[in-house]
Structure 1
Amino acid sequence: MVSGLEELQRNLVKLQLNNKKAAKRAVNRVSELVSDNLRSNTPYDANASDNLRDDIKTTGITGSAKGEISKDIGFGKKTGWRFHFPEFGTTKQAPQGFAQRTINQSQSEALAIYEEELRKGNQL
């Protein structure tokens, strides 16, 4: 039971801070999961010198000031320009859809991670 306004404010601040920490932990865990799944699903050519699989990049946490904590996962500048060829196909190559497969594969586990971290974060 909260006895005064100051204690209520302290509890609200504590809850907000815990949720930000929980959200950051969840985003970090999910970004590792998606990055690993993308690495395993990305086509690989042993004869090529630059492979998409070897150039997967993850940004740092962004948007925490606005309350929208996120990370971007994708391919670097060196190889990222050609990502759309194997993903969507060309006139001479069938689409492989590895990025969409990664999203579908990671979705349920990512939601479970978010739920677990938020439950931990809501405990005072």
Structure 2
Amino acid sequence: MGVTVKGDKELIAAFERLDKTVDTKARKATRDGAKVFEQRLKTDTPRDKTGTDHSGMTPLAEHTKIGNLRGSTGNLEIPVGYDTEKGWIAHFPNSGTSKQPAQHFIEKAQAESKRPVMAKFVEDLKL
């Protein structure tokens, strides 16, 4: 699928098309990577035996959130974590307390997501 370029104007136009294509694919790859990580975070977030959190309320895993795409500096990123309703409690089971050992499920989700996220990036960024 080669493109024959005859002259400076055509070369510049070809680079501009390629730049737009790469930017679109990079944005898609970032969004898809965020979805992969969010799914792993939901899976790794602890629940009690009843499927709820310890207070009997909706489990923390149901409060994951994908933020908005940011890329003002040229680096694309999307924050993934928990919403404001329950997010503030995530650090207690993750980091532990005096009455509860640390479970490190956020770090586990990050480690387990690394390869699938990178595979999704490679898939999405193919030209």
Fold shared per TM-score above 0.5: yes
What's the Cα RMSD here? Answer: 1.4
1:6 maps to which residue?
9
Quote the Cα distance in structure 2 between the aligned partners of 1:13 and 1:67.
16
Q: Which residue does the alignment assign to 1:66?
A: 73
Please state how far the C-alpha of 1:70 moved relative to its aligned partner: 1.6
Structure with the higher fraction of residues in helix conformation:
1
**Structure 1, unaligned stretches of length 5 or more?**
none
Shift of 1:11: 1.0
Deviation at 1:39, TM superposition (A): 0.5
- Separation of aligned partners in 2, 1:6 and 1:93: 66
TM-score for the superposition, normalised by structure 1: 0.88
- Any gaps of 5 or more consecutive residues in structure 2? none
Q: TM-score, normalised by structure 2?
A: 0.86
By how many angstroms is 1:2 displaced? 2.2
| Aligned counterparts of 2:113 and 2:24: Cα–Cα separation in 1 | 22
Deviations 1:42-87 (A, max 9, x none): 0123252142111111112111x43222211111111111111111
* Separation (CA, whole Å) in 1 of partners of 2:61 and 2:123: 29
Q: CA shift at 1:15, angstroms?
A: 1.0
